[in-house]
Amino acid sequence: MGGAARLSAPRVLVLWAALGAAVHIGPAPDPEDWWSYKENLQGNFVPGPPFWGLVNAAWSLCAVGKRQSPVDVELKRVLYDPFLPPLRLSTGGEKLRGTLYNTGRHVSFLPAPRPVVNVSGGPLLYSHRLSELRLLFGARDGAGSEHQINHQGFSAEVQLIHFNQELYGNLSAASRGPNGLAILSLFVNVAGNSNSFLSRLLNRDTITRISYKNDAYFLQDLSLELLFPESFGFITYQGSLSTPPCSETVTWILVDRALNITSLQADFLRDVTRTIHIHSQFPTVLLRQMHSLRLLSQNPPSQIFQSLSGNGRPLQPLAHRALRGNRDPRHPERRCRGPNYRLHVDGAPHGR
């Protein structure tokens, strides 16, 4: 695991044959949309990760870049940096609001223009503005995160994508310039309890409103600070976007304490249990399979259902890049204590 895919000559020929066939199928798709995590959608070839760098010259870094993401973080390679300051979140004291959106590739939360949400501190030299919250997840528990820790994946990964608002006017411009982007990643496990912020996003009344591609639902009164653990450390490295154009302008910050979500929402489980009690012919094994996220479709309702799960890029080589952390990996038994291991919200350490 961890190596970037190498293309043999036969695979390249197959690709160009598929591209030639696509020309005769219908109008050319928008190049920005012409990529996928899976190479076959509705019977048509759509370039998957091994081909991203070949189908669009602007995406060449996906194939030849040397600082690509995601990576497998081996803790023995993490350099302890005691001078990394704590992470700071600024919301202006206001609740977050915005649109939850099924993009056909991810579950995305797009914040409204106000309030402006900024992150700073840690390895960041500038203030970065939140542009998107993105959720990636797998078809089975323990596999779904893009990044791994010591060769171990997680069921999901929440990515908070920010752009450098001090140097650039928007995400697009920042993705093309140095020190342009910052992405905070939080890992997610399936457990008996659930993170309160994710519960708001993933409860049954909300998640069923974005069942199909392009479905959207407006949310408000969200407290973003509740997404973060009460105390945590982080690991940082220099990498890239994990989607085309794979720009190598990203400072990644990986929170080292995982969040939890439940396998099934409690109210949904109760309703299904009642149905099964009334109609006893339904096997109880259904309960273990009905994860609300995995029921989201990457297609519109007019097309065959294909689960949104499995929406992550394969691991890329870390090579000689440095991994830095604000916690000493030589002493994992030491708990994160003190203000350096808390999220500072509008200037003060956040505690719950």
- Rounded alpha-carbon distances, angstroms, from residue 309 to 65, 158, 187, 295: 26, 14, 15, 9
Closest CA to 163 of 154, 172, 155: 172
Q: Are 202 and 209 in contact (CB under 8 A)?
A: no
- Rounded to 5 degrees, φ, ψ at 163 are -120, 155
Structure tokens at 176: 């093309």
Of 101, 168, 237, 341, which one is the catalytic site residue?
168
Closest CA to 160 of 67, 79, 68, 222: 222
CA distance 11 to 9: 5
Q: What is the pLDDT of residues 16-31, one digit of tens each?
A: 334 433 333 344 455 5
Q: What is the pLDDT of residues 241-289, one digit of tens each?
A: 999 999 999 999 999 999 988 765 444 444 433 433 433 343 333 333 2
pLDDT at 42 (0 to 100)? 59
Domain ranges of the chain: 63-346
Active site residue 101: no
Residue 235: HSE in the Cβ half-sphere, 13 Å Cα cutoff: 25
CA distance 37 to 49: 6
DSSP-H helix ranges across 299-351 = none
Closest CA to 197 of 168, 163, 221: 221
Q: What is the pLDDT of residues 283-311, one digit of tens each?
A: 333 333 236 898 999 999 999 899 999 99
Structure tokens at 281: 């012919």
In one-letter notation, the amino acid at residue 119 is V
CA distance 196 to 143: 22
Segment 88-94 mean pLDDT: 94
pLDDT at 13 (0 to 100)? 36
- Rounded to 5 degrees, φ, ψ at 285 are -60, -20
CATH class held by domain 63-346: alpha beta
User: How much is the pTM?
Assistant: 0.85
Question: Could you identify the residue written with the tokens 């919250």?
Answer: 133
β partners of residue 234 = 255
Which residues are CB-neighbours of 159 under 8 A, at least 6 positions away? 133, 134, 135, 136, 146, 183, 184, 185
Which residues are CB-neighbours of 8 under 8 A, at least 6 positions away? none
